[in-house]
């Protein structure tokens, strides 16, 4: 059985995995559809500092990041700015995406990986219920023992898998954010805002979020508008007008960004491994469902997969072995994401005024906001419940709903984190059904 590995996609997840697998002695080739200069984004994105150690990566050099500033959350009716202060040494890193990718690429190539840009993979090639390689757009077939699919939320490779592998091909639009992130000039003479990083929850009462951030160099306004399911130009334009009315720093000149992008915001797929195939990162929906951050969990998954492959008893890349990768990811991270997904859905479906009440009264504490945005399990101790009960007494039924939600989240986290210990087809199916059950409409 070949131990050659093909990686589809050379954004963060693909490059991190290529490095980690090459370092463990595997022969790795990465195929990336885009030209090198077009991969990733021309801006910074945020990640917890611990992500590097968790993923077994060296810490990036100082010129690749700056520190994120604290968020201020704003509920739909905009009655209050809820500033969430975080100690300076606990603030996330804001990573300069393209230079960061260059750094990951150097690590991967120095470890022996070969990266081919402008080379699109058309589909996975299957034989006897096993993925045996890929077909490139050129028509060439390349064989491999494992195809690591880091091709993102709409991966063509995942979509081409045989039905018999039982991996979900398409991610429902309602499980994704359609977002535009655009940087505008900051008009001369505009005052520095009191709150530099404003996040609008259910902005304008719509299903999604928007943000307005003063860029690190303080010369631009970084505006993100994201809506679940779809986002028409009219919805975007209307939201942008509203952000402009609230934030004098948003000028008229588009400096960069602005393209429509899609981010998965759901729990990980219920199955992301098959004989000769493993999905990693956004292609397996590993982003944090609340905000769509996925760099840290994609890198962490990359390490778990590389470790699984190099286990002494992993002689063949078949589902029985790759299953251990999925089970470990679900244990470490996926279970918590499933719980956060429930909370996100609850918030999106909440009635007019409820998010305002919960946020403004402090029923949803700053700790909950931080935990949910970071993809951690949201729990409330008995004293925290008591405080919430006092603050939320005026809307007791809503409070009871929230308590019920937290109980369901805990249960889902337990189910999701505890896959059967070893691979068994029927047990895997039963676990998948139990895992997905709370999300069935």
Ligand X SMILES: Cc1cc2nc3c(=O)[nH]c(=O)nc-3n(C[C@H](O)[C@H](O)[C@H](O)COP(=O)(O)OP(=O)(O)OC[C@H]3O[C@@H](n4cnc5c(N)ncnc54)[C@H](O)[C@@H]3O)c2cc1C
Task: List residues near ligand X by CB under 6 A.
Answer: 8-14, 31-34, 39, 45-47, 120-121, 150-152, 155-157, 179, 181, 261, 263, 281-282, 287, 292-296, 298
Q: Which helix (H) or strand (E) holds 123?
A: strand 121-127
Q: What are phi and psi of 288, to 5 degrees?
A: -75, 120
Nearest distance from C-beta of residue 91 to ligand X, angstroms? 13
**Nearer CB in complex with ligand X: 226/392:** 226
Nearest distance from C-beta of residue 121 to ligand X, angstroms? 4
Rounded CA separation 305/418 (Å): 18
- The residue of the chain with the least Cβ separation from ligand X equals 294
**Nearer CB in complex with ligand X: 151/208:** 151
Measured distance between the N- and C-terminal CA atoms of the chain, rounded to whole angstroms: 43
Nearest distance from C-beta of residue 182 to ligand X, angstroms? 10
Nearest distance from C-beta of residue 263 to ligand X, angstroms? 5
Nearest distance from C-beta of residue 102 to ligand X, angstroms? 14
Rounded CA separation 10/33 (Å): 9
Rounded CA separation 336/334 (Å): 5
Nearest distance from C-beta of residue 397 to ligand X, angstroms? 35
Nearest distance from C-beta of residue 381 to ligand X, angstroms? 28
**Nearer CB in complex with ligand X: 166/256:** 256
**Nearer CB in complex with ligand X: 225/413:** 225
- What Å distances lie between residue 333 and 59, 137, 173, 190, 354, CA to CA? 21, 34, 23, 42, 29
**Nearer CB in complex with ligand X: 167/402:** 167
**Nearer CB in complex with ligand X: 295/409:** 295
**Nearer CB in complex with ligand X: 10/364:** 10
Nearest distance from C-beta of residue 40 to ligand X, angstroms? 7
Give the distance from CA 26 to its chain's centroid: 27
DSSP states along 184-233: EE--TTPPPPS-SEEEEETGGGSSEEEEEEE-TTSSEEEEEEEEES---H
Q: Are 366 and 84 in contact (CB under 8 A)?
A: yes
Nearest distance from C-beta of residue 230 to ligand X, angstroms? 15
Q: Which helix (H) or strand (E) holds 278?
A: strand 277-279
**Nearer CB in complex with ligand X: 32/354:** 32
Nearest distance from C-beta of residue 434 to ligand X, angstroms? 26
Rounded CA separation 439/441 (Å): 6
Q: Which helix (H) or strand (E) holds 279?
A: strand 277-279
**Nearer CB in complex with ligand X: 155/247:** 155
**Nearer CB in complex with ligand X: 76/281:** 281
* Burial profile 346-363: b = 16 or more Cβ within 10 angstroms, e = fewer: bbbebeeebbbbbbbbeb
Residue 234 neighbours by CB under 8 Å, 6+ apart: none
Rounded CA separation 258/42 (Å): 11
Q: Residue 427: helix, strand or coil by DSSP?
A: helix
Nearest distance from C-beta of residue 361 to ligand X, angstroms? 28
Let me know if 29 is exposed, middle or buried by CB neighbors in 10 A (0-12, 13-18, 19+). middle
> 309's torsion region: left (phi>0), alpha (psi -120 to 50) or beta?
alpha
**Nearer CB in complex with ligand X: 19/431:** 19
């Amino acid at each position: 059985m070949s131990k050659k590995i093909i990686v589809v996609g050379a954004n963060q997840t693909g490059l991190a995995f290529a490095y980690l697998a090459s370092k463990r002695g595997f022969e790795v080739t990465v195929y990336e559809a885009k030209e090198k200069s077009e991969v990733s984004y021309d801006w910074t994105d945020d990640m917890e500092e611990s992500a590097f150690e968790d993923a077994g990566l060296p810490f990036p050099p100082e010129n690749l990041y700056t520190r994120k500033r604290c968020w201020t959350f704003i509920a739909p009716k905009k009655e209050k700015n809820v500033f969430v202060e975080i100690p300076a040494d606990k603030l996330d890193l804001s990573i300069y995406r393209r230079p960061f990718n260059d750094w990951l690429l150097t690590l991967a190539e120095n470890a022996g990986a070969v990266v081919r840009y402008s080379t699109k993979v058309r589909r996975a090639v299957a034989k006897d219920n096993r993925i045996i390689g890929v077909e490139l757009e050129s028509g060439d077939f390349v064989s491999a023992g494992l195809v690591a699919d880091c091709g993102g939320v709409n991966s063509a490779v995942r979509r081409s898998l045989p039905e018999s592998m039982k991996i979900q091909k398409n991610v429902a639009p309602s499980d994704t954010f359609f977002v535009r992130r655009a940087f505008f000039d900051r008009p001369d003479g505009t005052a520095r805002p009191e709150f530099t990083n404003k996040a609008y929850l259910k902005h304008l009462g719509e299903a999604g979020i928007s943000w307005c951030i003063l860029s690190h160099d303080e010369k631009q306004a970084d505006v993100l508008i994201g809506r679940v399911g779809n986002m028409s130009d009219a919805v975007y334009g209307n939201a942008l007008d509203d952000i402009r009315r609230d934030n004098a720093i948003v000028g008229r000149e588009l400096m960069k960004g602005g393209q429509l992008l899609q981010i998965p915001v759901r729990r990980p797929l219920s199955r992301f491994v098959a004989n000769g195939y493993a999905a990693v990162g956004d292609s397996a929906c590993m982003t944090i469902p609340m905000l769509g951050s996925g760099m840290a969990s994609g890198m962490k998954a990359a390490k778990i997969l590389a470790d699984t492959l190099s286990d002494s008893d992993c002689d063949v890349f078949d589902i029985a072995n790759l299953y251990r990768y999925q089970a470990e990811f679900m244990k470490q991270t996926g279970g918590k994401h499933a719980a956060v997904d429930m909370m996100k859905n609850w918030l999106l479906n909440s009635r007019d005024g409820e998010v305002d009440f919960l946020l403004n009264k402090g029923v949803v504490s700053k700790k909950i906001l931080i935990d949910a945005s970071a993809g951690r399990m949201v729990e409330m101790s008995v004293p925290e419940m008591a405080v919430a009960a006092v603050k939320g007494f005026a809307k007791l039924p809503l409070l009871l709903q929230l308590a019920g939600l937290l109980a369901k989240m805990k249960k889902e986290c337990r189910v999701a984190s505890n896959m059967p210990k070893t691979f068994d087809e029927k047990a895997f199916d039963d676990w998948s059904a139990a895992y997905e059950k709370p999300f069935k409409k």
